Chain A
Amino acid sequence: MTALLEVSGVSVSFDGFKAINNLSLNIAEGELHAIIGPNGAGKTTFMDIVTGKTKPDSGRVLWGYPSVSLLSLSESAIAQAGVGRKFQRPTVFEAQSVRDNLLMALNKKRSPLSVLFYRFTADDFAKIEAMAKEISLTGVLDRRAGELSHGQKQWLEIGMLLLQEPRLLLVDEPAAGMTLAERERTTDILKRAAKSRAVIVVEHDMEFVRRLECKVSVLHEGSVLAEGSLSKVTADPRVIEVYLGRS
């Protein structure tokens, strides 16, 4: 199977600190993949590199087929190419309504002129309604996003990402700060999303990862320590050593 995203031999250091050290990772089309690791293992930096926020010192990041290098593209170009990213803290546009937040995310042309003359269609609004149902926000579409609860904001952001129709979704600690019920709902949403696209979930919480039932990579000091099913990697003595006294 050819990879949708191929990260190979990537290294990056900040002021001499190696955040990512010769990291290689392949993601297949439609794969659900979890990345776990202790604080400072390089999980967020990995996402920064894939989404263009940070440029690596060396290595390759190839995308799609025929493959293109993501390293020469800007953040917005990478997003347009089909990489969606969910941040650790929920970042939605709090001053605007939930509906407007979702409308902005719709997968349409992004250039200023096409946006200037764009008129929303009935189809657009139908898509918004359907997504609102999926993320349990139907009743609050006209509320300002800033008035939502923490969990609702997380879902709104996931909903926005899904409306972007990315081929790969990078999700950073989606369950942080959620109640148990909210976590279960989030797992459902992500699993359903992964049916039609590749999803990478970065997570601290082992229980949450267990519920995803997917392939797991353990990151440690900027490179992959172990890879496989959750039960396999948690049995790995090196992983146990890294996590001992930490989780």
Chain B
Amino acid sequence: MPSIRSVGPVSIYRSTIIFVALVLTFAILVTLASHAIGFGILSTSFIKTLGKTLCLCLIAIAMDVVWGYCGILSLGHFAFFGLGGYMIGMWLMFARTKDIVLKSIANNALPATPQELRDAIGTQIFGVVGGARIPWIWHFADSLTAQLALAVLVPGLLALVFGWLAFRSRVTGVYLSILTQAMTLALSLYLFQNDSGLRGNNGLSGLQNIPGLDLVSQDVISLWFFWASALALIAGYLFFAWLLNGKFGKIVRAIRDDETRVRFLGYPVETYKLFVFVLTAVVAAIAGVLYYPQAGIINPAQVAPIASIYLAVWVAIGGRGRLYGAVIGAAFVSLVSSWFTGGQVPDVPLGFYTIHWVEWWQVVLGFGFVLVTLYAPNGLGGLVDVFVRKETSA
């Protein structure tokens, strides 16, 4: 084929094969270096960091699809991520507390009535916000299946209702971004309240302890979650690559570039946007479900608007409109970020002032963002394009 394409992303087939191979290789290497199975080079907490990073990569590709491909700059996808985390967190916390309560009353002379059991669990979980009653939203918290379903349904429904209202009114561009920020802010403010039923600013904690797996060490559990995250990322990547490779992908990109024209081609633009918005929200929620058992805690601060802005920064730095760009951006920025803010980087004493990287990292990130925007509009992923293209033409 006489294809004279100027600089553009690497073909979707090729990048997908390379990507899957790289992630699998990486996962195997990490397994070999783990405490649980391999040589014990990597600490369990580092494996959790890597597993969490894979989840962030998953939400980043969702962000790239909704923003980089469909042109909807959503500054609210971390809200869906957090909601997914809260839903699975409810089960983790409830089931584990129930186990503890059952154990502690096992030797009592009289078996506890269901009401007493509920009260004991309620006191354990909600004592910290001055309550003992289990709120109605915890109705299904005893069932893993139900909470997994809710982890997809609740963020999906929120995205559906919000998206339907916004797209139907033809809210686009920066106005839509502001609306999504408002939604995120409202959600996090609601979660901060003690009577939200989700423990206010304490959030849900102890999530790393998986109910029923008391005898399995964290070394092993961390590896399981790491693999689950890696496989979820691969599945997500394959799914989106398939979605974008066909006719649907062409329409979605066309909507990004000129939605009015797409409308006059006869495509119901609003329905497409809603479809992409809800779909990516659900993927974000799934990423959250896998993330928070590795993080161990979820609180409203993680759903705060800034998180969603970071997400956009990752995708911009990684390069929009190429799925691998989003992965590179999320992995690179979040790992460098945890390195800088983890206190391992030595401070720089200037005599009159000492640069503490924990605080100054934000400045570095800000400059990095500006530099990428100015000099590498295709992001780090754009560098990959140039590299691959040179190899191909050589």
Contacts and interface: CB of A to CB of B under 8 A. Distances in A.
Interface in A24-60: 51
B247 interface: yes
Report which residue of B2, B265, B268 has the largest number of chain A beta carbons within 10 angstroms of its beta carbon.
Answer: B265
A85 B264 CA distance: 7
Contacts of A164: 265-266
A102 to B, nearest CB: 11
Given A104-B247, A120-B247, A96 B254 contact: yes
Contact of A103 (B1, B5, B250, B271): B250
A116 B252 CA distance: 11
Interface residues of B, number: 28
Contacts of A91: 258, 260-261
A232 to B, nearest CB: 33
B4 A79 contact: no
B389 interface: no
Contacts, number: 83
Nearest to B269: A76
A143 B265 contact: no
Contacts of A242: none
A75 B260 CA distance: 9
A110 B267 contact: yes
B266 A79 contact: yes
Contacts of A97: 5
B271 A111 contact: yes
Contact of B248 (A87, A100, A112): A112
A75 B264 CA distance: 6
Query: Secondary structure at chain B's binding surface: helix, strand, loop or mixed?
Result: helix
A204 interface: no
Contacts of A51: 264
Contacts of A116: 243, 246-248
B250 A112 contact: no
B250 A104 contact: yes
A237 B3 CA distance: 56
Contacts of A76: 263-269
Nearest to A157: B261
A76 B266 CA distance: 4
B268 A110 contact: yes
B162 interface: no
Interface string B1-41: 11111100000000000000000000000000000000000
B2 A142 contact: yes
A115 B247 contact: yes
A105 B5 contact: no
Nearest to B272: A112
A119 B6 contact: no
A208 interface: no
A139 to B, nearest CB: 8
Given A79-B266, A142-B4, A164-B266, A115 B251 contact: yes
A75 B265 CA distance: 9
B250 to A, nearest CB: 5
Interface in A93-149: 93-97, 100, 103-105, 110-112, 115-116, 118-120, 142-144, 147
A79 B1 CA distance: 33
A160 B258 CA distance: 15
A80 interface: yes
Contacts of A84: 264
B319 to A, nearest CB: 15
A168 to B, nearest CB: 13
B251 A104 contact: yes
A179 interface: no
Given A75-B263, A94-B257, A111 B268 contact: yes
Given A95-B253, A96-B250, A142-B2, A112 B265 contact: no
B83 to A, nearest CB: 24
B247 A93 contact: no
A74 interface: yes
Contact of B253 (A74, A87, A96, A110): A96
Report which residue of A85, A97, A115, A147 has the largest number of chain B beta carbons within 10 angstroms of its beta carbon.
Answer: A115
A100 B266 CA distance: 16
Interface string A161-179: 0001000000000000000
Contacts of B5: 97, 142, 144
Give 7 nearest A-B pairs by CB, closest first. A79-B266, A75-B263, A80-B266, A112-B275, A76-B268, A116-B248, A93-B254
Given A74-B263, A110-B267, A119-B246, 8 more contacts: A79-B263, A80-B266, A84-B264, A87-B261, A95-B253, A104-B250, A112-B272, A118-B248
29 contacts: A74-B263, A74-B268, A75-B263, A75-B264, A76-B268, A84-B264, A87-B261, A91-B260, A91-B261, A92-B261, A93-B253, A94-B257, A96-B250, A96-B253, A104-B251, A104-B254, A110-B267, A115-B248, A115-B251, A116-B243, A116-B247, A116-B248, A119-B246, A142-B1, A143-B4, A144-B5, A147-B6, A160-B265, A164-B266
